[in-house]
Amino acid sequence: MPSVLQWGLGGVPVKDYLISLFWPTAAGILAALLVLDRAVLDHSLLPSGAQPVVSYRDVVSKATPSVVNIYTAKLVTQRRIPMPNDPLLRRYFGGQVPRQRVERSLGSGVIMTTDGHIITNEHVIADADAIQVALYDGRTAAATVVGADPETDLAVLRIDLPDLTPAEAADPDDIHVGDVVMAIGNPFGFNHSVTQGIISGLGRFGLLLPTYGEYIQTDASIHPGNSGGALVDTEGRLVGINTLIYAGNGTEDAATGINLATPVDVAMFIMEDIVNFGTVVRGWLGVSVELHLRRNDDGSARQALLVSGLAEQGPAARAGLRVGDVIGAINGVEALDGRTAMHQIAQLRPGEVVNLSVERSGQILEMQAIVGSRSSS
């Protein structure tokens, strides 16, 4: 006689009962997997012309030869007191005996010209007594400093080697939030390491960052040693120069920090000035502004810049601008915030004419100012 375990409800065998119970669920799971498999593998479901990405090796192969590792050495003199109670030592050394040591650091850089010009961060090479550059193909060369710009934390080096591969610069208009990017550099000495992420934000500035700093925010991992390296897009084009990790507390914290890169157009502007003039030449108007809201005829509000201060005999003062004036546009571009206006003026050359649309006592005035330089009045 069959046992209780052999028979289920209503005299149905347990095996048949379990099959009838779980088969609909199993069938549903199988159907879902088939649909998912089709969605993943069927190329017809991708946008027209798009191909599924399985590797970025071609991108890395294109971009990596333009990225270099930078090693610096600095001779540091220290004073120590080996025998503080020795009167003879105190007489001749003040109780201190000088001692020298070599302080080494590392970073990254990007080859920008076939002539050997390399962009890196100023803090990578600051005060270095010797700079050595290592290329992806194994070659090395001593580098000289062409110039540096602490206000953007950028510097230009030069090496004398043939057959260099300059980076291809991306069009700034093609850089968008959400784009996939890769950071290539020398973190902790692991040369030509690659990390991948997306662009998280554009136009980041302020927050105790350098005066003229303007940054791309990315979640591609950047670590000490990545500074000065390349941030590239999925076509291997240079998007920015990896610059810093902002942790909000004045320190670099790779775990919680925000990764920032200098946009490629800013970096190229700085490099061209340093190569051509030995320094960065920035336009200047000699005006301080505050954000101002004014009303349109329909009652809506819009932003403008209220003049809060003028440099005596500066370009803006000589053009007739007054404290209390409201700047509505600069060269036909709406003046929406002081930071953007400062960058706009900074990229003009001394001697150029800048058109200002100014509101004073309810009247709109059109003014022209001759751009000066920050060191001139």
DSSP secondary structure, 237-262, as one string: -EEEEEEEEE-SSSS--TTTPEEEEE
> If we measure between CA atoms, which residue out of 338, 309, 199 comes closest to residue 263?
199
- List the catalytic residue out of 149, 153, 233, 325: 153
Q: Is 121 within 8 Å of 84 (Cβ atoms)?
A: no
Q: End-to-end alpha-carbon separation of the chain, Å?
A: 111
Q: Quote the CA–CA distance of 135 and 201 in Å, as a whole number.
A: 31
Active site residue 227: yes
> If we measure between CA atoms, which residue out of 243, 259, 238 comes closest to residue 149?
243
Q: Quote the CA–CA distance of 217 and 224 in Å, as a whole number.
A: 17
Active site residue 123: yes
Q: Quote the CA–CA distance of 66 and 118 in Å, as a whole number.
A: 9
- List the catalytic residue out of 223, 227, 233, 325: 227
- List the catalytic residue out of 117, 123, 192, 223: 123
Phi and psi angles of residue 4, each rounded to the nearest 5 degrees, phi first: -60, -35
- Structural tokens at position 216: 């791309």
Sheet strands side by side (includes 67-80): 140-142, 130-134, 67-80, 97-111, 117-121, 154-158, 144-149
- Structural tokens at position 315: 């370009």
Collapsing DSSP to helix, strand or coil, 196 comes out as strand
Active site residue 153: yes
Active site residues: 123, 153, 227
